[in-house]
Amino acid sequence: MNIDHDRRFDLTRVRWLAPLLRSRWPVVLGRAVTLAGFVFTILAGLLGTPIGGRNFAIIFVWIAWWTVLKLILMPVAGRSWCSVCPIPATSEWLQQGGILQRGKGVGLKLRWPRRLRGQWLQLGGFAVMGLFSAVLLTRPSATGGILLALLLGATGIGLVFERRAFCRHLCPIGGYIGWYEQLAPVAVRVRDRDVCRGCVEKACYQNCQWGIFPAALKDSFDCGMCMACIQTCPRDNMALWARSPSRESEEAARGEGAARRLDRAWFGLFMLACAPVYAAVMLGPWGSLTEAAYAIGTVAWLRYALAFLTITLGVGPGLFWLAARLGWLLGGRSGSAKRGAIHLSYALSPVGLAAWIAFTMSFAFANLSYVWPVISDPLGMGWNLLGTADWAWHPYLMNVTPLLQVVVLAGSLLWAALEVRRIATSRQALPVLAYASLLTAGMLWLLI
């Protein structure tokens, strides 16, 4: 067994997996496939049928990919999607002057401005996408347009700034995946820190497209799991580890983890507040609310936009901060209230991830059967390539979905409670757990 003294399992030592992790080809081929699919999706969105339920762009981005990302990739494999994400592919190839081999490359390779670092821009990007989500999720041209904008934006940013500046500081999806990465059961980490102390080549840093120093990784927020460090370390000292999903909070509790930051805490609280809003708009029985979210530019939409931003950026995080502050007061005002609140916000991340998973279950299982006709007729041109074009819509797993959602949401609350109690006394924890319970209860009321 490859379990080290720190209860991690070294996946790089698994015989059948090791060649895949040590070769550049899986990532290169994976990215070639996703890039081809991405370009096709953009074309389908812009040139295919305007009927969302019949268009490849809508069905494969918002039902197939978005579902796989939230229900499988993020809980099981963390940021693995980022390793094959097609959006930064062209900028990366231009920067390094080739797909496989490194050449001179093009671009200014400037450092990202210090004042623009952190997750604030990603938060803003996700909020803007949220304002237009009802249109993005249903109108093919809007989906094609936003994907094209992301591709061009990443390429433009990559020609000006060094490495994955777009992914680290601008990509809303990158921020979203990055926040919940702390709960991932896999991570790239160094084997033995002492070995790195004598290293002068720093090949891991030289080859890291994300511009981080893998040997010093304490969290994986900015690690795209491209495995370049594993492949280039001359001392074979980098590895992919299977670990406890609570690993990063355990390390933080020991004082060994990465610094816990306000921008990330706010991002997490924003994501936590977004889930019930989306559930109400997209899964609730309130047609006027859904129509308001869709009718961009109308007075109803402006009211919706104002309410969305107020709830997700103000009310949700604000209530949490009040709860954390109350806990600080009940706990005898010991320590820093701000620092305590930031740590407690990280502890609630299981509730946020579960809220998104539960929301996705309701949305995806009901609409998954749209995939089959679209495979045969991706542009809505009347084709029947695989003979599935006439397969009727039928929702899946509707009988068991509510029970699954109860298990996921209640289980995540228990997980969050264990994390909160790790860092807070019962008096300090009470208001924050009340806030988490309120959110969980709200999600359940909206979903089941």
Residue list 216-255, contact with another protein (CB under 8 A): 246, 250, 252-255
Comparing CA positions, the residue from 204, 209, 217, 199 lying closest to residue 167 is 209
Supply the minimum distance, in Å, between the C-beta of residue 146 and another protein.
15
* Phi and psi at residue 298, to the nearest 5°: -85, 170
Which one of residues 220, 374, 413, 431 is an interface residue with another protein (CB under 8 A)? 413
Residue 185 contacts another protein per CB under 8 A = no
Residue 140, SS3 per DSSP: helix
Residue 176 contacts another protein per CB under 8 A = no
Supply the minimum distance, in Å, between the C-beta of residue 106 and another protein.
41
Residue 391 CA: distances (Å) to CA of 48, 57, 206: 20, 19, 51
* Phi and psi at residue 3, to the nearest 5°: -90, 125
DSSP 8-state class, residue 259: P
Which one of residues 328, 356, 359, 372 is an interface residue with another protein (CB under 8 A)? 328
Supply the minimum distance, in Å, between the C-beta of residue 337 and another protein.
9
What is the DSSP pairing of strand 9-10 with strand 186-190?
unpaired
Supply the minimum distance, in Å, between the C-beta of residue 290 and another protein.
5
Which one of residues 11, 131, 135, 368 is an interface residue with another protein (CB under 8 A)? 135
Comparing CA positions, the residue from 81, 30, 37 lying closest to residue 60 is 37
Nearby residues of 270 by Cβ (< 8 Å), 6 or more positions away: 123, 126, 127, 312, 313, 316, 317
Which one of residues 174, 340, 378, 431 is an interface residue with another protein (CB under 8 A)? 340
Q: Do residues 423 and 347 touch, judged by C-beta distance below 8 A?
A: yes
Supply the minimum distance, in Å, between the C-beta of residue 182 and another protein.
15
Q: How many residues interact with another protein (rule CB under 8 A)? A: 71
Region binding another protein by CB under 8 A among candidate stretches 152-160, 269-277, 306-314, 400-408: 400-408
Beta-carbon-side half-sphere exposure of residue 422 (alpha carbons within 13 Å):
21
Region binding another protein by CB under 8 A among candidate stretches 231-239, 315-323, 374-382, 396-404: 396-404
Q: Starting from the edge strand earliest in sequence, which strands make up the sheet with 186-190, in order?
A: 9-10, 238-242, 186-190
Region binding another protein by CB under 8 A among candidate stretches 35-43, 170-178, 197-205, 277-285: 277-285
Nearer to another protein, 10 or 291 (CB): 291
Residue 187 contacts another protein per CB under 8 A = no
Residue 440 contacts another protein per CB under 8 A = yes
Site for another protein in 52-91 (CB under 8 A): 52-54
Which one of residues 27, 74, 134, 361 is an interface residue with another protein (CB under 8 A)? 134
Residue pointed to by tokens 């953009």: 42
Site string for another protein, 281-320 (x = CB under 8 A): xxxxxxxx-xx--x--------------------------
Query: How far, in Å, CA of 31 to CA of 178, rounded?
Result: 19
Comparing CA positions, the residue from 228, 313, 311 lying closest to residue 268 is 313
Residue 433 contacts another protein per CB under 8 A = yes
Nearer to another protein, 167 or 358 (CB): 358
Residue pointed to by tokens 């998104």: 356
Strands in 112-220 per DSSP E: 186-190
